[in-house]
Amino acid sequence: MNVQTGELAPQSDTHMADDLGIDTTTTTAMATETTLLNPRFYTTDFEELDRVDVSRVRAEWDALIAQMKSDPNKSHFKKNADWDQVDWAGMEPTLRREFIDFLVSSCTAEFSGCVLYKEMKRRGSNPDICELFNYMARDEARHAGFINDALREAGVAVNLGFLTRAKKYTYFRPKFIYYATYLSEKIGYARYITIFRHLEANPDQRFHPIFKWFREWCNDEFSHGEAFALLMRTDPKLTSSFANKLWIRFFLTAVYSTMYVRDHARPAFHQALGVDIEWYDQEVFRKTSAIARQVFPIEIDIDHPRWLPNLRRMRDAFGQMDAGTRQGGLAGWAKRMVGGAKAAYGFAAIYTIPVIKSTPPVNVRLEPSY
């Protein structure tokens, strides 16, 4: 994939897209849309990030950079004989719609990382920071490109060049980028490896070849998460001050609940994989929380009696807001307001669950172990 120019779907694919009743304009619009639940594009204070001094974590930093430089996944993101033929036209229509939605959303999230990391590399002058962000941008470009190849087979590739220009960018201070991106990288790892292990045990439920690529893939996400863990360790206040701990709690709540609501919008997709969504999400939260003990001194108690009921409340609330938007008019507006209040209540109920405290280890680095 050429991330400089982005890509257009080849013309020859359009007949397939017609058969599916969806096209590359539709998927690009899906990726460009900014809602509370869609993956966002971020921008930050690149100068502040460029001033980060990694000497406090030098040994661990150099080891991580050496590993990224060795590029273990250099030839992984290429279709080979394992890439089975996909019968897009024969796929059950609801499954097809949800699966395309899953691929578009994953591609947007991967590409969002690519855009942010590449911009940091471009603007920075700190060799440590530039080198790291260069390798991470390289990986995310491959990930987004590989997903887009899968979409291209269906004639619905996202126009990434257009997306870069048209998508709204959300500004986050560097420390919020650390919290949010650290979590999304580690969650990405936990999601990919959980699906991979499940399909390894149940290969008959692997309805698309892309899942075979998830094991090596998730190792990239794991090391990206490691990088943000080290960046947070360059300034101990980021994970120890009272205010920052409240922020970490906020991001844990927001990232976990968004994932829960988003996954529940794709019942047919998870059913085809043979995965119970609530089981899968709890599994991903459990792995992510265990990993995050490397750097966060607090975690959400996901076995607390208020946890699941309020996630379900938020899921229903978002459904209600969606229905209100579709309905329109005064009644639709009222539905949206009630849904919004319900979601806020659910969020607050989760945010105030007493957290589990721990002391992060002296050495931050971890290896993928699931």
Q: Which residues bind Fe ion (CB under 5 A)?
A: 110, 140, 143, 185, 221, 224
Identify the residue whose tokens are 């998508």. 167
CB of 39 vs Fe ion, minimal distance in Å: 11
**Nearer residue to Fe ion within complex by CB, 61 or 318:** 61
As a whole number of angstroms, the distance between CA 55 and CA 82 comes to 43
User: Which H/E stretch holds residue 272?
Assistant: helix 267-273
CB of 109 vs Fe ion, minimal distance in Å: 8
**Nearer residue to Fe ion within complex by CB, 143 or 208:** 143
As a whole number of angstroms, the distance between CA 91 and CA 76 comes to 27
**Nearer residue to Fe ion within complex by CB, 138 or 143:** 143
CB of 113 vs Fe ion, minimal distance in Å: 5
CB of 189 vs Fe ion, minimal distance in Å: 8
**Nearer residue to Fe ion within complex by CB, 111 or 207:** 111
CB of 354 vs Fe ion, minimal distance in Å: 31
**Nearer residue to Fe ion within complex by CB, 106 or 320:** 106
Residues 74-80: contacts with CB under 8 Å, at least 24 apart: 76/213, 76/216, 76/217, 77/142, 77/143, 77/145, 77/146, 77/213, 77/217, 79/149
CB of 14 vs Fe ion, minimal distance in Å: 28
As a whole number of angstroms, the distance between CA 120 and CA 122 comes to 5
**Nearer residue to Fe ion within complex by CB, 116 or 199:** 116
Residues 73-78: contacts with CB under 8 Å, at least 24 apart: 73/139, 73/142, 73/216, 73/217, 73/219, 73/220, 76/213, 76/216, 76/217, 77/142, 77/143, 77/145, 77/146, 77/213, 77/217
